[in-house]
Structure 1
C-alpha cells in the first residue's frame, strides 16, 4: 500500500509544510461528492488520527485515513498548471471512470 508524490508535487507539499507552523505533512483522502461519487481531497495534516496510514517520502509525510485508503491506494499525486490555475492532480489506479468535469470518480463495486 502506498501513496506517492511526483517531484513537482513533492516540492510543493514540502514548501507548504515548511511555511505552515504545526503542519505535519499532507492529508489525502476522498469524500462523497460530484456526479460520479468520490472526490479527492487534500489539506495540510495538523495531527495524526487513529487509523491513519502514514507514507513517508524523503521526509514528507502523507496521511491517509482508513476509509479512504482502499480508494486511493497506489495513487500518484502530481501538481501542475491548468489554464490560469495551479492544482494537484491524481493518477488513481482505483478509479474506474471519471465524470466529464473531472471533479469526481467511480470505482468498481468491490470498493463501495
Structure 2
C-alpha cells in the first residue's frame, strides 16, 4: 500500500509552456507584473474562473512561479476547486484561448461561462 501526498505548491495548478508564454506576453502589454487566479459563484452552473492582471497577490494567496518571468497567485479559498487544474493556451481554428482543464468539473453550462464540481 502506498501513501499519496498532495503538495499544494506543485499540485494546485499546472501551467503549460504555451500558456506561460501567452500570459507573459499579455502581462507585458498590460504593464502588470503577475496573474491572480480565483473562482467565484456565478452563472447557471455554479462557478466561474476569474483571472486578474495584478502587481502583487493578496496576503493569503499561494504564489506559483511556473516560469522564471511569470508569477501566478492563486486565491487559497479557491484551491479546493482548482486542485489538479492544468492551464493551457490552445488554438482551435482561428481562435486562440486560455483553457482550464480542471479534473474536478462535473458539468459546464452550454455557453462555457460557468461550471460545477462534485
Same fold (TM over 0.5): yes
Unaligned runs of 5+ in 1: none
Which consecutive unaligned segments of at least 5 residues does structure 2 have? 1-7
Question: Counterpart in 1 of 2:45?
Answer: 36
**Where do 4+ consecutive residues of structure 1 move more than 3 Å?**
81-86
Superposed, 1:1-112 pairs within 5 Å as 1=8, 2-21=12-31, 23-59=32-68, 60-82=70-92, 85-108=95-118
TM-score (norm 1): 0.82
Matched pairs, number: 107
With the length of structure 2 as denominator, give the TM-score of the two structures. 0.78
The higher radius of gyration belongs to 2
Alignment root-mean-square deviation, CA: 1.7
